[in-house]
Structure 1
Amino acid sequence: MFQNNPLLAQLKQQLHKETPRIEGTVRAHEKGYGFLELDNNKKSYYIPNTQMRKLVHGDRVSGILQQQDGKEQFEPESLIETPLVRFIARVAFENNHLVLHADHLMTRNTIRGKVMPSVKQRLEAGDWVIAELKEHPLKKDGKHFSAEVTEFITHKNNKLALWLITLTRHNLETETPEDVQLELLAGEEKNRQDLTNEPFFTIDSADTYDMDDALKISLDEHGNYLLSVAIADPTAYIAENSPLDNVAKHRIFTTYLPNYHVSMLPQNVANDLCSLKAKAKRPAIVCNVMISPQGQILKDATFTLAWIESKAKLAYHLVSDYLENKGDWQPDNEQIKQQFPLLVQMANARIQWRNHNAILFQDQSDYRFILDEQNQVQSIVKEERRTANKIVEEAMIAANKALATQLENTLGFGVFSAHIGFDPKYLETVHKILVDNQITQFDKEALASFDGYIQLKRLTQNNSFLDARLRRYLAPADFTFQPRPHFGLGFKLYTTWTSPIRKYSDMLNHHLIKAMIRQQQFVKPEESILEKMVERRKQMRGAERDLSNYLYAQYLLNKIDEPFAAEIVDINKGGIKVKLTEIGAMAFMPASLIHPVKEDVTISPDEGLLKIKDQTTYRIADRLTVQISEVKPEYQAVIAKPASALNQAK
């Protein structure tokens, strides 16, 4: 009697309309189901496999809660926003029809595809493409997922496929600009000092060809170090707003990936015409800095347009071996050899000065992937920052600091590197953490100040647990035209100009140096270039991180149950993130692998602690030994479990 009852249908419709809606973000699970996370991140609701067929990871949706077998689960109704707009996909064919599998979105949904006429490449199963979403099941009039292929990326059998996919995912160029023929610009010969007889030399990695910087050092009669830093001068060939300048302005940086890099400038310009190659005459800007025996920069530095000729290309590891009395290598140039002790003394003096007057970072190791001819990882080499690295680093920091002072005093603007310390929205949290640790001399105003931040960093530099907890509340570094402090370095002013072949911001500062030398007017660039620099840096770092994670997963795939020394870098509600200190890989230890009884485990991300049976067992910055439990290359995921503790409370 209730069938086709219009009153009942109307009542159901009214009840459905009055049912409260919730909205949140979809988090997919590799097993096919998912969760809706609310904005406060304190509540989530289960989404069954049947409903996940309408969704992808990252979708922002609205819907209702349903009761199923006494449990609440989410039923999506409408799409608010989706990350599946322009995406990378792997090509497949089902019943001779093109389908696409979206990359990096943890979706098992098959997306129906068609190819735009502009794509001339014949597609085969396994090829990689860029596609644009045309239909979503939750969109108005949507029935299923469908997309159009707009660009071809690479064939499946290309040994660089992983590199090209990663660069494309982060909207970065996959190839270096085409070579161009350049001539020295008019007027660039004028007032350029001939320093080709001076004993400049370069120290770089053995496989570096785009060499930006060369060094020379001597002592004056008072025992002060006279450091000369010569920097390659691409602006001697590249005019402002020229076609090549616009290419560099678009790319902003050279992107360095393992075994592959994409230059900001054409290779013949970066690696030959402008590179400070040994025995080759090159235009340069030379900064002359006087440094006291105590490491303080004395007087104002001078900047000179010059011709230089590097007398040798030296490698970091060989110079370090020589200075650390290892190996048999010897410099074959006596003038260079005589400079080595002075460079070591200068670097040590600057390190001591910065330790007492600015901020020193803890030495961080670099990690280098050794790949075979097919770009498969054979091994991973840990490279410490050795003596030669520190010499070059301190010389560059001194030259950059000297220019920052010059720009402020002469022009009042420049492309400065800035850092405000703690993100203002976290000052209350930082203050509470300090008070909880019996550090009560800092109010929020002091924490936001340059001097207060420096004082706090010195106070916590030997407390790795507290320092690691505070680090998560730092603001990112920024670019600015106005002189502003760099809290992270402990400098009232800082800029960079020593890598103009690789960084567009440094090219801009070269134009400013020339304007000061020639006493010319210089028009400040548009503010939009600063936002572009920040965004491109974020894209570049994302690509570096993603590719490294893929390679780490590939390397660790056959290391199941092998032990690795590790350090805890983060603790979240799901478990512990660790860094494998000998190879640099990140791994995750889920709470279920840390202790079998869920109710015994208490995780406090804000405190950086994990407790088992109310006893603090792990803290952020602790060192321990872990074993590899599982590797999921498709998700760049390395799962670990505890082995034996080395040092529970560093």
Structure 2
Amino acid sequence: MAKKTDSADPGNDPYLDREREKYGSPVPSREYILEQLQAQARPLGRKELAELFGLTDEDALEGLRRRLKAMERDGQLVRNRRNGYVVVDNEELVRGRIRAAADGSGVVHPDRPGPNVYLAPREMKRLLNGDRVVVRLTGDDEAGRPTGELVEIIEHANREIAGRYFEESGIGFVVPNNKRLHQDLIIPAADRNGAKNGELVTAEVVSQPSQRRQPIGRIIEVFGTEIARGDEVAVAARTHGIPVEWPDAALAESAQIGDTVPERSKQGRTDLRDVPLLTIDGADARDFDDAVFCEPTDKGWRLLVAIADVAAYVQPGSALDAEAAERGNSVYFPRNVVPMLPESLSNGLCSLNPRVDRLCMVCEMQIDPRGQLLDSHFYEGVMNSCARLTYEAVDAIHNDRDPSLKREYAEVIPHLENLYGVFKALRADRRQRGAIDFDTTESVIEFDAEGQVADVHPAERNDAHRLIEECMVKANVATARFLERNKIPALYRVHEPPAETRLENLRQFLAQTGLTLGGGDEPSPADYAELMAKVRQRSDRHLIETIMLRSMMAAEYRPDNAGHFGLALDAYAHFTSPIRRYPDLVVHRALKHLIHKKPVEAFPYTEDQLVTVGEHCSMTDRRAEEATREATMTLKCRFMAERLGEAFTGVISGVTSFGLFVELDEVFVDGLIHITNLEQDFFHYDAIGHRLVGERTGKEYRLTDRIRVRLAQVNVDEGKIDFDPVAHPLGPDGEVLEKPPARSTKGAGKGEKKAGSRRKGPPRSTKGRRQRR
């Protein structure tokens, strides 16, 4: 006999008011359904749930059916064999996104905090990288990893796949460019669209993989045998699944919005048009998210950070909102941008362009002389930017290097000096709380008038960059505190402390340099900062900082506030870039909800929806970085292809079991010296010491050693550069040093592997970029 279902009063649903606003015949909220299922501690069918909630009206029963179906679609519930609903994210079921490996296995990155779940190749046959799934935990493998089996596919991530088309024995197939897509795409003869063997193509996925067959597709775009000049961005975007084309509905909505702020939209807002707010951005920026103003007070500083009010134009449920959510963020390629919003908004009506009225969201803060936040409040405003400045111009004005710029911007110079005043206080606060400040370098690609790569060089950062960064960080801190204080569901930018295994590797490396990281098993950001201060004057500073950076976790978006380790903050949320980051737009909606004094329970986002949004935006953040890195490497390869045979000086930027990665000084490009091109010797790979050591000769190659190389080969399509060694080691001025004494490789560490000229290395991976905050 079935167990009797106790009744649950729908009037006890804490989100009943929100449901009444949304639906004429409200049904229990998702939260209340999950709560009651967990309280029953057993699966319930749809009829049992209707009985539990006392629903008899046909409209209410239909509403329950649709809600349960939507909760299945979003991975909140799954049905067992008896059609009973089971809550996901419990002790047995895990919801998350697949990250596939080249061997056909994969791991599930859970939506909620928790360990990754390993999936064997047999469980991956129906899946591709990026798919969202529900898996059932089945135990641990020999390595102690949680293992799982596939329960349900929530969403297939790959609609189009870029790769190279081949034909063998009359069968056509596409080998994906993305190495994490471990299955080739079968192309029927009728769907080849004229593609020839070996050509780069984009294929639409017509049928996803099943347990017995590979995915099937049809070719929709042909690039040719090589990546043509100008196609680098298109290929990188297609490879990583970045949407480029705009849906007609989204374009139609943006066209209806117009290009000027109507007077009715300015009503009820704080008028800041007489406040000399100004923007400071890169010289090539077109979308201006933020403007700043500062003045001294008897308590320290009054700092205003005004942010484009995107939420005033992009409404939840609209086609624009759906596309922005899908994109997750703008993607900034060399020369090109794939924006999150149509350009009429991102570069037009939302952008805080100079001398035009714009709607804004304002964070007004009181900063004390020590740089600490005394008070803050948020409001909707209307502003008129008094100037558009670049980082380079501000730096030149402040350091008195350009009299003509000082004359041109004479009216704003006092305001710039005030900004530098609060900047000093904010920097002092950063040092006091022990924030980690990895001042890493990124590359800049310069193009000539014909669009060809003319130069590659390191990007330069000055105090104007840091000034804006500190103002934005403080506004984001104020935002996170405000949201947390009001207990409204929101997205935080979370940066977890380093994992135990990464810390162990870091400590083993530091032991070889005579250094230690304080803090025991749980080092603080201040412990990292203290160690960085100790190595600042050392010749191997770059080596140590690189290894420290690699010990860090990736930042992500989550509705549970776990703080930001790198910035040494208890609460941090992204508020300052809603034009180019979807999480910021969600945060703006939460702020507006509170500003207009609406009840928290009526906020349209549920906590579980924010889990899903945060996970998706964390993925699009990583996707953007991978695509940008790939496009940049293609351009660098094209630049270097004309310099074959030339010799360059560089630094060893990576040490692997299959060779050395070298970053060149002059052109800021990195490539590989394969281990087969080193001395005729067997080399031991010491993963902890980040070095290769010759077994016979004792020759040692370490991370950050200086080396002279010759450019041997460039593969533009695959983004690979190969070097031959010329001289090693080099001194700081490029002089060849005497051969260092041989070092014993015995006991080099548990990460040691033997490698030699017969070893074949896997495809090279490009060097990672600075962790986004």
Q: Name the TM tier (shorter chain).
A: 0.7 to 0.9
Residues 1:635 and 2:714 aligned together? no
Match of 1:499 among 577, 582, 592: 577
Partner of 2:276: 199
- C-alpha distance in structure 1 between counterparts of 2:222 and 2:549, whole Å: 38
Residues 1:162 and 2:235 aligned together? no
Which string of whole-angstrom CA distances, capped at 9 and with x for unpartnered residues, describes residues 431-486 of structure 1?
44455555567576324x66655655656666443333343332211212122221
- C-alpha distance in structure 2 between counterparts of 1:267 and 1:578, whole Å: 39
- SS at structure 2 position matched to 1:335: coil
Which string of whole-angstrom CA distances, capped at 9 and with x for unpartnered residues, describes residues 586-635 of structure 1?
21122333x32223x33312211233457573322334443323222232
Partner of 2:102: 58
Partner of 1:519: 597
Measured after TM superposition, the shift of residue 288 of structure 1 is 1.9
- C-alpha distance in structure 2 between counterparts of 1:381 and 1:440, whole Å: 34
Partner of 1:104: 177
Partner of 2:556: 478
- C-alpha distance in structure 2 between counterparts of 1:575 and 1:320, whole Å: 41
- C-alpha distance in structure 2 between counterparts of 1:590 and 1:610, whole Å: 12
Measured after TM superposition, the shift of residue 276 of structure 1 is 0.6
Partner of 1:322: 397
Residues 1:468 and 2:551 aligned together? no
- SS at structure 2 position matched to 1:394: helix
Give the direction of change, closer, same or farther, for the CA distance of 1:562–1:331 in structure 2 (3 Å limit). Answer: farther
Amino acid at match of 2:668: G
Which string of whole-angstrom CA distances, capped at 9 and with x for unpartnered residues, describes residues 198-219 of structure 1?
1111122233221111111221
Amino acid at match of 1:638: I
Give the direction of change, closer, same or farther, for the CA distance of 1:185–1:274 in structure 2 (3 Å limit). Answer: same
Give the conservation status (yes or no) of the 8 Å contact 2:163–2:239.
Answer: no
Match of 1:537 among 590, 603, 621: 621
Match of 2:429 among 353, 356, 377: 353
- SS at structure 2 position matched to 1:227: strand
- C-alpha distance in structure 2 between counterparts of 1:238 and 1:83, whole Å: 32
Which string of whole-angstrom CA distances, capped at 9 and with x for unpartnered residues, describes residues 330-378 of structure 1?
3534431222222223323322331232324233334322335664322
Measured after TM superposition, the shift of residue 318 of structure 1 is 2.4
Give the direction of change, closer, same or farther, for the CA distance of 1:615–1:356 in structure 2 (3 Å limit). Answer: farther
Q: Tell me the TM-score normalized by structure 2.
A: 0.65
- C-alpha distance in structure 2 between counterparts of 1:604 and 1:587, whole Å: 20
Partner of 1:182: 257
Compare 264-273 and 607-616 and name the one that shifted more.
607-616
Measured after TM superposition, the shift of residue 300 of structure 1 is 1.6
Within 5 Å, give how 1:230-379 maps onto structure 2: 230-294=306-370, 296-327=371-402, 328-330=404-406, 332-372=408-448, 375-379=451-455
Partner of 2:644: 560
Give the direction of change, closer, same or farther, for the CA distance of 1:292–1:625 in structure 2 (3 Å limit). Answer: farther
- C-alpha distance in structure 2 between counterparts of 1:129 and 1:440, whole Å: 50
- C-alpha distance in structure 2 between counterparts of 1:185 and 1:461, whole Å: 54
- SS at structure 2 position matched to 1:634: coil
Amino acid at match of 1:478: E
Question: After TM superposition, what 4+ stretches of structure 1 lie above 6 angstroms from structure 2?
Answer: 82-86, 92-95, 109-112, 133-136, 155-158, 183-187
Give the conservation status (yes or no) of the 8 Å contact 1:153–1:164.
Answer: no
- C-alpha distance in structure 2 between counterparts of 1:450 and 1:381, whole Å: 31
**Percent identity of paired positions between Structure 1 and Structure 2:** 21
Give the direction of change, closer, same or farther, for the CA distance of 1:353–1:425 in structure 2 (3 Å limit). Answer: same
Partner of 2:685: 603
- C-alpha distance in structure 2 between counterparts of 1:233 and 1:628, whole Å: 50
- C-alpha distance in structure 1 between counterparts of 2:276 and 2:620, whole Å: 37
Measured after TM superposition, the shift of residue 642 of structure 1 is 4.6
Give the conservation status (yes or no) of the 8 Å contact 1:323–1:387.
Answer: no
Partner of 1:69: none
Give the conservation status (yes or no) of the 8 Å contact 1:378–1:555.
Answer: yes
Tell me the matched-pair count: 564
- C-alpha distance in structure 2 between counterparts of 1:537 and 1:314, whole Å: 27
Measured after TM superposition, the shift of residue 111 of structure 1 is 9.1
Runs of 5+ in structure 2 lacking a partner? 1-100, 106-121, 130-157, 741-773
Partner of 2:668: 584
- C-alpha distance in structure 2 between counterparts of 1:355 and 1:146, whole Å: 53
Which string of whole-angstrom CA distances, capped at 9 and with x for unpartnered residues, describes residues 112-157 of structure 1?
843566x9x6657856231659999xx97x9xx9964243365779
Give the conservation status (yes or no) of the 8 Å contact 1:415–1:509.
Answer: yes
- C-alpha distance in structure 1 between counterparts of 2:463 and 2:386, whole Å: 21
Residues 1:210 and 2:254 aligned together? no
- C-alpha distance in structure 2 between counterparts of 1:391 and 1:427, whole Å: 32
Runs of 5+ in structure 1 lacking a partner? 1-56, 62-77
Match of 2:188 among 103, 110, 114: 114
Give the direction of change, closer, same or farther, for the CA distance of 1:230–1:464 in structure 2 (3 Å limit). Answer: same
Amino acid at match of 2:257: L
Measured after TM superposition, the shift of residue 175 of structure 1 is 3.3
Give the direction of change, closer, same or farther, for the CA distance of 1:442–1:205 in structure 2 (3 Å limit). Answer: closer
Which string of whole-angstrom CA distances, capped at 9 and with x for unpartnered residues, describes residues 181-209 of structure 1?
22779996453111111111112223322
Match of 2:218 among 143, 149, 155: 149
- C-alpha distance in structure 2 between counterparts of 1:135 and 1:240, whole Å: 30
Amino acid at match of 1:219: P
- C-alpha distance in structure 1 between counterparts of 2:196 and 2:666, whole Å: 40
Which string of whole-angstrom CA distances, capped at 9 and with x for unpartnered residues, describes residues 568-600 of structure 1?
33211112223234433221122333x32223x
Measured after TM superposition, the shift of residue 506 of structure 1 is 0.5
Measured after TM superposition, the shift of residue 263 of structure 1 is 0.9
- C-alpha distance in structure 1 between counterparts of 2:256 and 2:448, whole Å: 34
Measured after TM superposition, the shift of residue 564 of structure 1 is 3.5
- C-alpha distance in structure 1 between counterparts of 2:578 and 2:624, whole Å: 17
- C-alpha distance in structure 1 between counterparts of 2:636 and 2:217, whole Å: 33
Q: CA RMSD in A?
A: 3.9
Q: Tell me the TM-score normalized by structure 1.
A: 0.76
Amino acid at match of 1:209: R
- C-alpha distance in structure 1 between counterparts of 2:409 and 2:526, whole Å: 45
Give the conservation status (yes or no) of the 8 Å contact 2:291–2:306.
Answer: yes
- SS at structure 2 position matched to 1:500: coil
- C-alpha distance in structure 1 between counterparts of 2:337 and 2:298, whole Å: 45
Partner of 1:129: 202
Amino acid at match of 2:235: I
- C-alpha distance in structure 2 between counterparts of 1:92 and 1:299, whole Å: 64
Partner of 1:404: 480
- C-alpha distance in structure 2 between counterparts of 1:559 and 1:330, whole Å: 42
Partner of 1:49: none
Measured after TM superposition, the shift of residue 166 of structure 1 is 1.2
- C-alpha distance in structure 1 between counterparts of 2:666 and 2:419, whole Å: 30
Amino acid at match of 2:567: L
Compare 370-379 and 265-274 and name the one that shifted more.
370-379
Measured after TM superposition, the shift of residue 493 of structure 1 is 2.0
Measured after TM superposition, the shift of residue 418 of structure 1 is 1.3
- C-alpha distance in structure 2 between counterparts of 1:491 and 1:146, whole Å: 45
Give the conservation status (yes or no) of the 8 Å contact 1:589–1:642.
Answer: no
Give the conservation status (yes or no) of the 8 Å contact 2:507–2:517.
Answer: no
